[in-house]
């Protein structure tokens, strides 16, 4: 079975695999993680605000997103957002939304639901006495969150946020359903073109394995360091 392996096709395709595919994957991961953490933090604060008009929609959003397969959400945004944009703007035809923009919006909104739960746990882990002390010196709710609670919550939850980002990195391979070329998509195109499916998919699996194990190891080291600081 392994006698006719030809890894020369892998070597010749490295510039395309990493220059196009991996760059796309890392770009989408970084942008979606950044947007997801920011939006997730806002959603977490809404859920903890004690204001029903804010907490209830945030809770529904989180539960709704976490109950759906990501690939289904990708399809929704890619095919429905142009028509929603048409309805909202009153345009004569569907609004053009690029595949990358659609993927970025989808991953950001989807991951925000997961990041929000991580941040909510981090905020709740901060002793309530700190909030009371901040209010006692005249800080508003927004000032308390921005200067006292969130910096500590981010530090405490950083390992979990990075772990979720690793999951996001893996999930970006689903963009193949809207014909975007991520790392796995690039490997698949080369495999189909040259008829070397086994070699290319083994190489893609090895790359994902190395990246994810390395990242997970760094996260565990960071977690121990944070625990010592605490």
Q: Identify which has the larger pLDDT, 152 or 33.
A: 33
User: Is 182's pLDDT higher than 90?
Assistant: yes
Alpha-carbon distance of 38 to 35, in angstroms, equals 5
Look up residue 181 and give its two tokens.
């070329």
What number is the average pLDDT over the span 48-59? Answer: 91
User: Is 44's pLDDT higher than 50?
Assistant: yes
pLDDT at 227: 61
- Whether 78 contacts 99, CB under 8 Å: yes
Local structure of 108: helix, strand or coil: helix
**Three-point CA angle 115, 119, 123, nearest 5°:** 170
What number is the average pLDDT over the span 173-198? Answer: 89
Confidence class for position 2, pLDDT limits 50, 70, 90: low
- Whether 144 contacts 135, CB under 8 Å: yes
Domains of the chain (ranges; CATH) run 23-180 (1.10.3720.10)
User: Is 230's pLDDT higher than 80?
Assistant: no
pLDDT at 90: 81
User: Is 1's pLDDT higher than 70?
Assistant: no
User: Is 85's pLDDT higher than 80?
Assistant: no
Q: What is the pLDDT of residues 145-179, one digit of tens each?
A: 888 888 888 888 888 999 999 999 999 999 988 88
User: Is 207's pLDDT higher than 60?
Assistant: yes
Q: What is the pLDDT of residues 92-106, one digit of tens each?
A: 888 877 889 889 999
Alpha-carbon distance of 172 to 125, in angstroms, equals 31
Virtual CA dihedral for 52, 53, 57, 62, nearest 10 degrees? Answer: -40
Placement of tokens 């080291």 in the chain = 221
Confidence class for position 228, pLDDT limits 50, 70, 90: very low
Alpha-carbon distance of 229 to 221, in angstroms, equals 13
With the C-alpha atoms ordered 223, 113, 215, 212, is the resulting torsion angle positive or negative? positive
All residues at 6 or more sequence positions from 220 whose CB lies less than 8 Å from its CB, including other chains:
159
Virtual CA dihedral for 62, 64, 68, 72, nearest 10 degrees? Answer: -100
On average, the pLDDT of the chain sits at 88
Q: Identify which has the larger pLDDT, 33 or 137.
A: 33
Look up residue 225 and give its two tokens.
């360091």
User: Is 22's pLDDT higher than 60?
Assistant: yes
pLDDT at 76: 85
User: In percent, how much of the chain has pLDDT > 90?
Assistant: 49
């Amino acid at each position: 079975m392994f006698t006719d392996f030809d890894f020369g096709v892998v070597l010749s395709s490295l510039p395309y695999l990493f220059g196009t595919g991996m760059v796309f994957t890392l770009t989408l991961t970084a942008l979606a993680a950044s947007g997801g953490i920011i939006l997730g933090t806002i959603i977490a604060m809404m859920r903890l605000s004690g204001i029903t008009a804010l907490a209830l929609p945030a809770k529904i959003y989180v539960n709704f997103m976490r109950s759906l397969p990501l690939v289904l959400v990708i399809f929704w945004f890619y095919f429905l957002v142009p028509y929603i944009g048409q309805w909202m703007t009153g345009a004569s035809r569907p609004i053009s939304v690029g595949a990358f923009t659609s993927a970025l919006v989808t991953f950001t909104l989807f991951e925000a639901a997961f990041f929000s739960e991580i941040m909510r746990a981090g905020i709740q882990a901060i002793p309530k006495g700190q909030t009371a002390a901040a209010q006692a010196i005249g800080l508003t709710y927004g000032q308390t969150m921005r200067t006292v609670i969130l910096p500590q919550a981010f530090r405490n939850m950083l390992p979990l946020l990075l772990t979720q980002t690793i999951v996001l990195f893996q999930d970006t391979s689903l963009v193949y359903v809207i014909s975007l070329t991520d790392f796995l998509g690039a490997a698949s195109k080369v495999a189909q073109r040259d008829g070397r499916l086994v070699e290319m998919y083994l190489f893609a699996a090895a790359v994902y394995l190395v990246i994810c194990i390395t990242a997970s190891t760094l996260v565990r080291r960071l977690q121990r360091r944070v625990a010592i600081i605490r």
